[in-house]
Amino acid sequence: MDLIAAIATGAAASAIGIVRLSGDGCSAACGRVFRPANGRPFGEQEPRKLVMGEMLDSRGRVIDRGMAVRFPAPRSYTGEDAAELHCHGSPVVLRELLSALFAASARQAAAGEFTRRAFLNGRMDLTQAEAVIDLIDAETAAAARNAAAQLDGGLRRVLEPVQETLLDIASRFYAVVDYPDEDIRDVNPAEVSAALGSAEDALTRLLADCRRGQVLKHGVRTAIVGLPNAGKSSLLNALAGYDRAIVTDIPGTTRDTVEESVLCGGVLLRLVDTAGLRETEDAVEKLGVERSRRAMEQAELILLVSDMGVDMEQPRSQAYREDFHHLLAQVGRQKTPWVYVASKRDLSGRAAGALGAVGDPDWNGPAACVSLSALTGQGMEDLAEAVAALFPAGPPGEAGSLLTDRRQEDAARRARDAVRRGRAALDSGLTPDAVLTDAEEALDALGELTGRTAREEIVSAVFSRFCVGK
């Protein structure tokens, strides 16, 4: 393939900058922009070993001193002749070096083109390619570990036995049909049914854990709801570790949703701090309340915050009690899991065990009730434990074997459904050859997942999320 080059490090100034190359003529181009200190041509340098030298611009002038390394095909990231130039991370130096490479026949690499070439050259499958961008974008240690394990082929190793089972079924059918004169054993319906059952079980287990994979990658969209001045913004600030939202004693201070990503119990929460849910005649506040309701409806977790001193056991105004009861009803009618958070514990001194009953037996009850103080930090660990229990990390051994996005889930589900149909047809008394179409449909779906048979538009969609230089 033609020679591509790109700056692989960030645009901001840094201690070290890296320019990557891959493709035909890689060593020759590097020889024009890098002068090794040992006097040997770049193409004769020892592979995979950094060598000192001078970086040259397009006119052959020294612009920096640094190191370079070459990776001969096929033992490179892309499977092609590749190289890296390491210099000081000055944006000016990096741009000059890249311009010199362009003058030496290279072109600017597109976003994700290095990894795309690795995929096309068989250095990785599509699940591993997706793991690259997942690792770059990881926001938690657990997400990074899962992406690293998937990059190492964790998901591929789960899928390969299923693919081999289906390939064996299909190949046996074709062998019997295409070579009737050969002494080939007829397909045994019981054996085929057992093989399909094994494939179905494996795909079902994979799909059962896909929610955990998506939580690792994307986090949990979490709505913080409550009546005005309940302590919602204070909770957001406590979880974020800084004053992300304005906090005052004036009800209705938060008039629009405020978003922040935080770690709680090892789980990435995409927090949405909402305006207080109450009836109001203020036009601006009304808009905030409506956005809050939409945020609650779209949430995957709801934190219902109530002022500890305004608990339902305490005597309150009739209007307040009606508003709170109405809010409880709204939350309780959602199928979304929710946690009842009694705030301002530092003022009441009451622990979670002293909380009164909330909600209605007919509603979806809270997954947990905690009391806390956003000011002192009391009870914050209880909230972390409640969140961790709702979204468990899973056993360490499953790292890398989780489906982490909707595309993967959809392909695996179509494969499972095709296998299930084939098994049902066989068990209903149809001849074994009726299973062939379903087995091939399942193989096609798995091929989309791994990249074996993925259409160009699927591949393009995957790599469109990549950054330049990777």
Domain with 13 in it: what CATH number? 3.30.1360.120
Q: What is the pTM of this model?
A: 0.78
| Closest to 245 in 3D by CA, of 317, 313, 457, 253 | 253
Res 185: pLDDT:
56
User: 48 and 88 share a domain?
Assistant: yes
Res 296: pLDDT:
82
User: 292 and 175 share a domain?
Assistant: no
* Ramachandran assignment for 31, one of left (phi > 0), alpha (psi -120 to 50 degrees), beta (any other): alpha
Work out the burial of residue 190: count CB atoms within 10 Å of its CB; fewer than 13 is exposed, 13-18 middle, 19 or more buried: exposed
Q: Among the three residues 355, 390, 425, which one is the final residue of a domain in this structure?
A: 390
User: 360 and 280 share a domain?
Assistant: yes
Res 173: pLDDT:
72
Q: How many CB atoms lie under 10 A from the CB of residue 375?
A: 16
User: 226 and 373 share a domain?
Assistant: yes
* Count of alpha carbons within 13 angstroms of residue 361, beta-carbon side: 0
Q: Among the three residues 356, 390, 424, which one is the final residue of a domain in this structure?
A: 390
E strands along 294-392, which residues?
301-307, 338-343, 368-371
List C-alpha distances in Å: 308 to 73, 156, 231, 351, 365: 66, 50, 10, 10, 19
User: 232 and 342 share a domain?
Assistant: yes
Q: Would 152 be classed as within a structural domain?
A: yes
Q: What does DSSP say about strands 301-307 and 220-226: parallel, antiparallel, or unpaired?
A: parallel
85: three-class secondary structure by DSSP? strand
Q: What is the pLDDT of residues 401-410, one digit of tens each?
A: 888 888 999 9
User: 367 and 413 share a domain?
Assistant: no
For residues 236 and 265, the answer to whether their CB atoms sit within 8 Å is no
Q: How many domains does the chain have?
A: 3
User: 383 and 339 share a domain?
Assistant: yes
Res 467: pLDDT:
87
Q: Among the three residues 370, 390, 410, which one is the final residue of a domain in this structure?
A: 390
User: 351 and 237 share a domain?
Assistant: yes
Q: Running along the chain, 470 residues long, what does each successive block of 10 average in pLDDT? A: 93 92 96 95 95 95 96 96 96 95 95 94 93 89 89 90 88 62 62 89 91 88 86 87 53 56 90 65 55 81 81 57 79 87 74 49 81 88 93 76 89 95 85 80 92 82 86
User: 423 and 381 share a domain?
Assistant: no
Share above pLDDT 90 across residues of the chain, in percent, rounded to a whole number: 43
User: 54 and 102 share a domain?
Assistant: yes
| Gap between the Cα atoms of 269 and 216, Å rounded | 10
Q: Would 348 be classed as within a structural domain?
A: yes
Q: What is the pLDDT of residues 296-340, one digit of tens each?
A: 888 899 999 988 655 444 555 666 777 777 788 888 888 889 999
Q: Would 195 be classed as within a structural domain?
A: yes
User: 355 and 405 share a domain?
Assistant: no
- Range of the structural domain that residue 11 is part of: 4-109
User: 198 and 237 share a domain?
Assistant: no
DSSP characters for 112-153? THHHHHHHHTTSS-HHHHHHHHHHHH--SHHHHHHHHHHHTT
| Gap between the Cα atoms of 286 and 300, Å rounded | 24
